[in-house]
Structure 1
Amino acid sequence: MNISKRILAILEIIFIVAAMEVSVCDARVIAGTNGLSQRSVMIDVVLYNFKDKYVSLVMENLEEIQKQNEGKVVFRFYDGKGNQSTQDEVLSNLVSDNADILMVNLVDTRATQDVINRFKSKNIPIIFFNREPVSVDALRYYGKAYYVGTNAKEAGEMQGKIIVDIWNKNREFIDKNNNGILQYVMLEGEHGSIEARERSESSIGTINKAGIKTEQLALKAADWQRDLAKTNISSLLLQYGKNIEAIIANNDEMAIGAVEALQNNGYNLGDKNKTIVVVGIDATAEAQELIKKGFMAGSVMQDPYEMAEASYAIGMNVFEGRDPLYGTKYKFDDTKVAIRLPYHEYAA
C-alpha cells in the first residue's frame, strides 16, 4: 500500500513538472510571436528631389506618420536630386536592403518597369506616388505595385475656373488692353511630364470653353523650380511688358518665382493697375500668404498629408496581405492600380 502511494506521488510530481515545461514552452512561443509582430515595418522612400517644395511636404507628413506609429514603422528617405542616374544608383543600393515596402517618387516617369525589374525578386509592395508613370502596365503585371496621385486635368480645370471667375467679375482688371483676348504666359513643369501637359492643356481648355479667347505669348518649361521661373518671367517682361495679362504656372514654386520677378519690376505690389494675374497649384503656405495679400490670384490645393497617408495605407495593406484599399475611402480608377486624390480650389 505504501509502495502504491509512493508510485502515485512520483507520477503526480512527474505530471506537474511536465505541465510546467509545456507552460514555459507555450510562453516562449507566445513571446516569440509577439516579438515578430512588434518588429517595425521598414519602408524605403526614394524621392524625386528633396528640394522640391511639395515633395518635401510629403516627406514631412510621412515623418509625422512615423511619430504617430512609433515602434510600428520606420521610414528611410533617399534623395534622387532630380537626376535619374542618381536615383538609379540609390535604387541599385537598396536592392540588397531589408525594406518591407518601397515607395518611389520617380525622377524619370518612364522608369517604372526598370524599378519593378530591380525589386520583383524581393516580392515586396512598391508604391509609386505623385509623379505619374507614363505607363501603368508594369504595375499590373507585377501585382504588388500601385500608384497614388491626382487627376492633373482637374487641377488645370480649377486654375482655368479661377481665371474665368476674375474675367467675368472684373474684366477690366485682367484684360488690360480691352481687346477681349486673354494674353498669357504658361510656366510648364517639365517637358515630357504627364502632369505638366495635362495641367497646361486643361487650364486653357477651361478658359476657352467659357467663351474667352486666348493668346499664348510664351510657354517656358521651368522644371517646377522657383528660380528658373523667376529668370524666365524677368526675361519675358522685357520682351512683352504690359501685354502679359496672366501667368499660369503648373505649380506654386514657379508661380512664386513669377511673382518675385513681377515685384522686382514694379508689378503685383498692391496697385491693381499694375497687377498681373498669377495662378499656381499646390496651395503651399507661402502661396496662400501671397493670395491673401492680393499678389497672387489663386492656387489649387494638393494635400501633401493625404498623399503621404494614402501611400502609406496602401503599402501597409499589401504588406499585411489585405486588399490594397482596405480601411480607406479611396477607389481605383479604370486602370485598377491607381487612385486619384481630389484637388481643392484656393482663391482670394
Structure 2
Amino acid sequence: MRSMFKRLFAVAASVGIFCMMSACAAEKRPDKALKIGVTIYRKDDAFINSLCTDLQNIAKDKAKGENKIQLNIVDGQSSQTAQDDQVDRFLSRGYSVLCVNLVDRTAAATIIGKAKRANMPVVFFNREPVEEDLRMWEKAYYVGADAAQSGTIQGEIIRNAYKKNPKSIDRNGDGKIQYVMLEGEEGHQDALLRTEYSIRYLVKSGLKVQKLADNTANWQRAQAAEKMSQLIRQYGERTEAVFCNNDEMALGAIDAIRESKIKNRPAVVGVDGTQAGCDAIRKGEMLGTAYNDAESQAKAIFELSYDLARGQKIDSSKLKDQHYIYIPYQMITAANVNKYVG
C-alpha cells in the first residue's frame, strides 16, 4: 500500500499529479488543454486513493484520442486551510473545472462562492455538502453514493446471518444483539447516516438490539484498533456485532479482536469493499461490507467534469434534483466476495 501512495503522490502536493497527452496533429484539436483540478481531503485514505487511481486511468485513456487533458490531484492533508489555498490556486490559474473532496463539508459554501465568481464549475465528491450550499449555483454538483443505503446493507448482512443461524449472531441467546459502533468522524454526514440506518434496518426487521458503546475512530485502522481494544477490555465477549463506518476501521477492529484472543468473536461489518476488506471476508474475519464503487464514481466525476470543461449541456436524466449523481452500493459477503477481488 505504501508503494501505491508513493506512485500516486510522488509529486509535491502544491504541484500535484497530472497526466497530459500532447497533440498528435495540432490542426485537429486546440492547443489549450482541458485542466481539471482535484483536491482531496487526505491522501492515505484507502478508498480515496483507489478513486484517484481510477480517475487518473480514465483521464489517460481519454487523452489517447483527440483530447488534450491535464489532471492535477493535490492533497489537502486533513487541513481545510490547506485545501482552501489549493482551491484558490486552481482558480487563479484558470483551470476548467474544480473537483473537491472536502476536508470540512461546512466549507462548501465558501468554495462555491469563489467558483461562481470565477465562473468555474465545481464537482464535489465523496463528502457531500449540505443541500442548501449545493443549490447556491447551477454549476455546482455532487458525485457519490447514498450513505443511508450503505448502512441499510450493513444491517441486512447482520439480519441475513441471524435469519440463517440465530446463534451465529446472538451468541448469548438472550434474544438481543449486543453491538458496538465505530464511527468515522464526528458530524460527518456519511458517518451519521451509516450509523443510523444500519441499526434502523435491524429494528424494522423485528430484531432487538442493545448498544453497548459507540466510539469515533476517524476512518483510520490504527485508531479503530485502539478503540476496539478498549471496548474488549470493558465488555469482554458480550459484544456480538461490530458496525464500522468503513473497512479500514473494520480491519482495525479485527486487529484488536485477533490480538485479544477472545473465543467468541463478534460479527464485523464495514463499508467500502477495499481489497483488504475483501481479503478479511475471504478469511472469515469480516462478515461482510457494502461495496462503495470507486471506479464508477471516478467515471462519473470525470465524465461530468469533462462535459463541464467543454461547456456542454449536462444531461438532466443523469442527475438527481439537478445537482446529484449517486452510484449504488452493493452487498459483499463470503458468497460473492471473489467477484470483487482484483
Q: Give 2:138's match in structure 1, choosing from 143, 168, 185.
A: 143
SS across alignment from 2:136:
helix
The amino acid that maps onto 2:325 is I
Distance 2:26 2:248 in 1: 50
The answer to whether the 8 Å contact 1:314/1:325 transfers is no
The amino acid that maps onto 1:341 is I
Structure-to-structure mapping, 1:130-209, within 5 angstroms: 130-133=126-129, 135-209=130-204
Structure-to-structure mapping, 1:206-217, within 5 angstroms: 206-217=201-212
The amino acid that maps onto 1:304 is A
Q: Give 2:94's match in structure 1, choosing from 93, 98, 113.
A: 98
Distance 1:264 1:158 in 2: 28
Gaps of 5+ in 2: 1-24, 335-342
Distance 1:160 1:282 in 2: 15
Q: Cα offset for 1:33?
A: 6.4
Tell me the equivalent position of 2:323: 337
- 1:296 maps onto 2:286 in alignment: yes
- 1:259 maps onto 2:254 in alignment: yes
SS across alignment from 1:131:
coil
Gaps of 5+ in 1: 1-30, 268-272
The amino acid that maps onto 2:322 is K
SS across alignment from 1:51:
coil
TM-score (norm 1): 0.84
The answer to whether the 8 Å contact 1:45/1:75 transfers is yes
The answer to whether the 8 Å contact 1:315/1:324 transfers is no
Runs of 4+ in 1 over 6 A off after TM superposition: none
Tell me the equivalent position of 1:27: none
- 1:88 maps onto 2:84 in alignment: yes
Tell me the equivalent position of 2:311: 321
Aligned-CA RMSD value: 1.7
Tell me the equivalent position of 2:9: none
Q: Give 2:302's match in structure 1, choosing from 296, 312, 325.
A: 312
The answer to whether the 8 Å contact 1:283/1:346 transfers is yes
Tell me the equivalent position of 1:124: 120
Percentage of pairs with the same residue: 36
Tell me the equivalent position of 2:108: 112
- 1:227 maps onto 2:222 in alignment: yes
- 1:54 maps onto 2:55 in alignment: no
- 1:44 maps onto 2:37 in alignment: yes
- 1:275 maps onto 2:265 in alignment: yes
The answer to whether the 8 Å contact 1:186/1:218 transfers is yes
The amino acid that maps onto 1:89 is D
Cα offsets for 1:167-209 (capped at 9, x unmatched): 1111112112110110001011111111111111110010111
- 1:74 maps onto 2:70 in alignment: yes
Q: Which moved more, 1:46-55 or 1:94-103?
A: 94-103
Q: Cα offset for 1:35?
A: 4.4
The answer to whether the 8 Å contact 1:317/1:325 transfers is no
SS across alignment from 1:142:
coil
The answer to whether the 8 Å contact 1:186/1:249 transfers is yes
Q: Which has the higher helix share?
A: 1
The answer to whether the 8 Å contact 2:34/2:309 transfers is no
Going from structure 1 to structure 2, the CA distance change for 1:257 and 1:322 (only over 3 Å counts) comes to: same
Structure ID, larger Rg: 1
The answer to whether the 8 Å contact 2:183/2:216 transfers is yes
The amino acid that maps onto 2:286 is M
Cα offsets for 1:288-340 (capped at 9, x unmatched): 111011010000101111111101111111222223237xxx6322x321121
